[in-house]
Amino acid sequence: MPTPGARGFRLADIAARLGGDVLGDAETVVVRVATLASAGPEDIAFLSNPKYRSQLSTTRAGVVILGRGAAADFNGPRIVVPNPYAYYARVAALLHPPVKTPPGVHPSAVTASPVPASASIGAQVSIGADVVLGERVTLHPGCTIGDGVRIGDDSVFYPRVTVYPGCRIGQRAIVHSGVVVGADGFGFAPEGGAWVKIPQIGGVLVGDDVEIGANTSIDRGALDDTVIGDGVKLDNQIQIGHNCVIGARSVIAGCVGIAGSTRLGEGCMVGGAAMILGHLDIVGGTVISPGSMVMKSITRPGKYTALYPLEEHDRWLHNAAQIRHLDALADRVSELEKALSKTNTEG
């Protein structure tokens, strides 16, 4: 098979590697992925959202990835698969592989622990004592790795990631710039009008195949460890409090805040800017809508929303005023029901 480059891949080669049914000219060569609207003859596009189906008649894409139900709507070369979106992701990885950093240790790096020959350590990286790095680990410039940290094979840390002492990161982690793993959780005990800091003596355990978005913070546990399960995907600017447990394969979108000691089961999905209070249990398979405030545990899987719909401002104020009087209205309805029941009985 040809290797990716200026000539790209033939449609036949893509199908041989990734599967799928080829319809049309299997010799068509593509070099990039693109949207239906912007694609040209050397691009491969995809259709996963039905609202873009009409673009199949106007796209200039050389190849389109389609589901079975839309296969007849495009006459050009196409590949038919059960999940076009996931297939697109794999094609994108095939055509646009990440640039590999050559192994070695930059002269400005400070290393107090052994570094495997296969690792790549960038400029001004700091590695503390008793650190164990797996094979082929990449630490981009400015990363700080505290004492006693463990990082698994094939993990990549982008610039200025900080991992506090005693934390563990699994294999094949992708950790983006500005992430902080293992800072102190927010723990203070009130005493005489002041606040006494509670030592945070737990750690952070991150499983295999986890991705952590830019500027996300994961606090260390107060006593037990904060745990991020295998296959979890975290977006940018997320706050995960101390002693939280995020179940395997959960996905959390940007700007979510999860307070301490909350547990999410496996396969949860949390929309952007949702807030989850502390000491809650969220059962596996739960979907939380963007912007929701979760104030109690969720014991049955399903989709949950705690968000007041967007309205014009004056209308929103009117509705909000009515909501404030719901308790009084409920009491009035209850009294009217009692009066009506009494009248029916006497009649």
CA distances from 143 to 164, 331, 338 (A): 11, 60, 69
For residue range 247-290, list pLDDT tens digits in order: 999 999 999 999 999 999 999 999 999 999 999 999 999 999 99
pLDDT score recorded for residue 100: 85
The pTM of the full predicted model, rounded to 2 decimals, is 0.89
Run of H or E residues at 304: strand 303-304
Residues 54 and 143 in one domain: no
The DSSP result for 276-287, as a single string, is: E-SS-EE-TT-E
Residue 131 lies in a domain: yes
Name the domain boundary from 95, 116, 146: 95
Do 142 and 55 sit in the same domain of this protein? no
Whole-angstrom Cα distance, residue 204 to residue 166? 8
At residue 346, what are phi and psi to the nearest 5 degrees?
A: -70, -30
Q: Which two tokens stand for residue 98?
A: 């990440």
236 and 134 share a domain?
yes
For range 293-321, the mean pLDDT: 92
DSSP three-state, residue 329: helix
Would you state the pLDDT for residue 320?
A: 85
For residue 328, the model assigns a pLDDT of 87
pLDDT for 58 equals 96
Q: Does residue 3 sit within a domain? A: no
Give helix 313-324 / helix 326-346 axis angle, nearest 10°. 50
**Length of the chain, in residues:** 347
Q: What is the pLDDT of residue 347?
A: 61
* Inside any domain, residue 330: yes
Categorize the per-residue pLDDT at 339 as very low, low, confident or very high, splitting at 50, 70 and 90. confident
pLDDT of residue 291: 96
Last residue of a domain, one of 60, 75, 95: 95
- The reply to whether 113 and 195 lie within a common domain is yes
The pLDDT tens digits of the residues spanning 25-61 come to 999 999 999 999 999 999 999 999 999 999 999 999 9
Provide the edge-to-edge strand list for the sheet that holds 239-240.
Answer: 110-111, 126-127, 144-145, 162-163, 180-183, 217-219, 239-240, 257-258, 275-276, 293-294
User: Residue 105: which H helix or E strand, with range?
Assistant: strand 104-105
SS3 of 293, please? strand
Q: Do 205 and 60 sit in the same domain of this protein?
A: no
Specify the pLDDT at position 342. Answer: 78
As given in the structure block, the two tokens for residue 143 are 């990363």
- pLDDT > 60? residue 70: yes
Question: Do both 291 and 192 map to the same domain?
Answer: yes
Q: What rounded mean pLDDT belongs to the chain?
A: 94
**How many distinct structural domains can be found in the chain?**
3
Domain co-membership, 148 together with 280: yes
Tell me, what DSSP letter sits at residue 225? P
Distance CA 197, CA 199 (A): 6
Q: Residue 314: is its pLDDT beyond 50?
A: yes
Select from 39, 84, 83 the least CA-distant residue to 62. 39
Domain with 149 in it: what CATH number? 2.160.10.10
pLDDT tens sequence across 74-115: 999 999 999 999 999 999 999 988 888 999 999 999 999 999
State the pLDDT at residue 3.
39
64: pLDDT strictly greater than 60: yes
Cα dihedral sign for 256, 259, 260, 263? negative
> In the chain, what are the helix, strand and coil shares in percent, each to the nearest 5?
20, 25, 55
pLDDT one-digit tens code per residue, 141-151: 999 999 999 99
Residue 108 is given by DSSP the state: T
- Find where tokens 């975290």 sit: 234
User: Tens of pLDDT along 214-254?
Assistant: 999 999 999 999 999 999 999 999 999 999 999 999 999 99
Would you say residue 230 lies in a domain?
yes
CATH number at residue 37: 3.40.1390.10
Domain boundaries, position 65 = 9-95
Burial of residue 116 (number of CB atoms within 10 Å: 0-12, 13-18, 19+): middle
| Dist. CA 336–CA 347, nearest whole Å | 16
Mark which of 95, 121, 140 sits at the end of a domain: 95
Count CB atoms within 10 A of the CB of residue 243.
25
Could you tell me if residue 4 is inside a domain? no
Rounded CA-CA distance 205/232 in Å is 12
Is residue 166's pLDDT more than 50? yes
Give catalytic residues, as residue numbers.
242
Give the tens place of pLDDT for each residue, 117-144.
999 999 999 999 999 999 999 999 999 9
